Amino acid sequence: MAGEAGPSQADIERVVLPHLDAAYNLARWLVRNPADAEDVVQEACLRAVRFIGGFREGDARAWLLRIVRNSAYSYLEKNRPSELVEEFNETLHVPEGAAGRPVDDAISRTENAQLLQVALEMLPVRFREALILRELEELSYKEIAEVMEIPIGTVMSSLARGREQLRERLLAARGREVRHGL
């Protein structure tokens, strides 16, 4: 592919098209708006086609999702820069000993998808992104590291922190439901 004058239809069909659902899913969770997500995916696909000659045999999904991620962050920087401000302060948000704890039963047993969606959307974008890539797209830690362009150790800590914040938000929301008789 590297020496070709332009991308072939076969290259696009093999590298880009099989991963459009994952691309849209990631974009939707990052920009939190279906129409904006479609725009982000369209821009990412244009970039992928333009740079497909630079794709070396490997994980096409991770390659495309990295492009989607970069397109989403470019979109957010331009249109909603406040969403990219990191909300996390480790000393304020992670109780001592909580970082290594697995997601507890409150999350795994939740029956309310809307509650889960709202709680996920409240997470800082970095944690939301890591959780979406791991739990919904089922990427390995290595693939997440490639997509997010961060070390595997940072992936693991982002997942732990994201899970803990998600757990806290779900428990708080459940507490509000109980107090309001829902």
Report the pLDDT value the prediction gives residue 114, as an integer from 0 to 100: 78
Residue 1 has pLDDT above 70, yes or no: no
Confidence of residue 101 (pLDDT cuts 50, 70, 90): very low
- Cα–Cα nearest to 107, from 121, 97, 117, 93: 117
Give me the amino acid identity at 75.
Y
Residue 119 confidence (pLDDT):
86
Nearest to 107 by CA among 31, 170, 150: 170
131-to-15, 116, 117, 177 alpha-carbon distances in Å: 24, 12, 12, 25
Tracing tokens 């990412």 back to the chain, one arrives at 44
pLDDT at 80: 76
Q: What does the block give as tokens for 119?
A: 């709680």
Percent of the chain with pLDDT over 70: 75
pLDDT digits (tens, 9 = 90+) for 107-123: 444 456 778 888 888 89
Domains and CATH numbers, the chain: 9-83 (1.10.1740.10), 86-179 (1.10.10.10)
Q: What is the pLDDT of residue 91?
A: 39
Express each pLDDT in 42-94 by its tens digit.
Answer: 999 999 989 888 787 788 899 999 999 999 999 998 987 766 555 444 433 34
